[in-house]
Every structure is written in C-alpha cells, then in structure tokens.
C-alpha cells in the first residue's frame, strides 16, 4: 500500500468510525487532543498523524489503532507494513521523550 493510499484509507476509516459513533469533528478533535482543521485534513487524506495522535484517535473512536488502517481486501503483507510503520513511529516518539526527560534531569 503506497503512502497516498494509506492516507486515504486512514481518512476514510476515521470518518466512517466517527459517523458510526455519532461524533462531530469538533467532539472527536477534542477527545483526540487535535485541532478540527488537522482532523479534517486527516479525514480527507491530506495529513498523516504521528503515533500519539493515532492512539488518541483510536481511543476516542473505541477501536484498536490497526483498525484505522484496515482496507478492503488488505493483505497480511500490507497490514504488516502498516504495523511496522506505526511501530517505527512509536519508537521514535519514545526515544524523543526519553531524551527530553534526560536533558531535563541533567540541567
């Protein structure tokens, strides 16, 4: 699955799940701790959120993160690629957080 398709699938799924939960964009954005503009761009497939935002969106929508990417007829290989990408982003975020904390305690 190429990045453009991934963004479109993510946006479509978030919008579908939001409608299913009867949430407005404003309410979902509040629960996910993002702006309505950013959520709108995600739903249109224009932006790709970082791992923390994906977790917040999934939590607000009451689904697992991987479900945000589930495409129609997605193969196991495609789903593994998605999980790998999310995992890489999590590792980066965790490392940045750890480094920030270390710098604060060294100061």
- 33 by DSSP, 3-state: which? coil
* Among 75, 65, 81, 83, CA closest to 13: 65
Return d(Cα 9, Cα 66) in angstroms, integer.
12
Please report which confidence band the pLDDT of residue 74 belongs to, taking 50, 70 and 90 as the band edges: very low
* Averaged pLDDT score across all residues of the chain: 83
Please report which confidence band the pLDDT of residue 99 belongs to, taking 50, 70 and 90 as the band edges: confident
pLDDT score, position 33:
95
Domain CATH for 43: 1.10.260.40
Q: Identify the domain containing residue 46 by its residue range.
A: 3-106
- Count how many Cα atoms sit within 13 Å of the Cα of residue 31 in the half-sphere of its side chain: 16
For residues 35 and 26, the answer to whether their CB atoms sit within 8 Å is no
Number of domains the chain is built from = 1
């Amino acid at each position: 699955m190429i990045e453009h398709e991934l963004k479109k699938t993510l946006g479509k799924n978030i919008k579908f799940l939001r409608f299913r939960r009867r949430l407005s964009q404003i309410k979902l954005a509040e629960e996910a701790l993002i702006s309505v503009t950013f959520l709108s761009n995600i739903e249109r497939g224009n932006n790709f959120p970082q791992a923390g935002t994906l977790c917040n969106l999934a939590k607000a929508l009451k689904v697992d993160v991987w479900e945000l990417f589930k495409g129609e007829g997605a193969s196991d290989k495609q789903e593994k690629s998605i999980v790998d990408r999310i995992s890489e982003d999590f590792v980066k975020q965790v490392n940045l957080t750890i480094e920030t904390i270390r710098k604060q305690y060294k100061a």
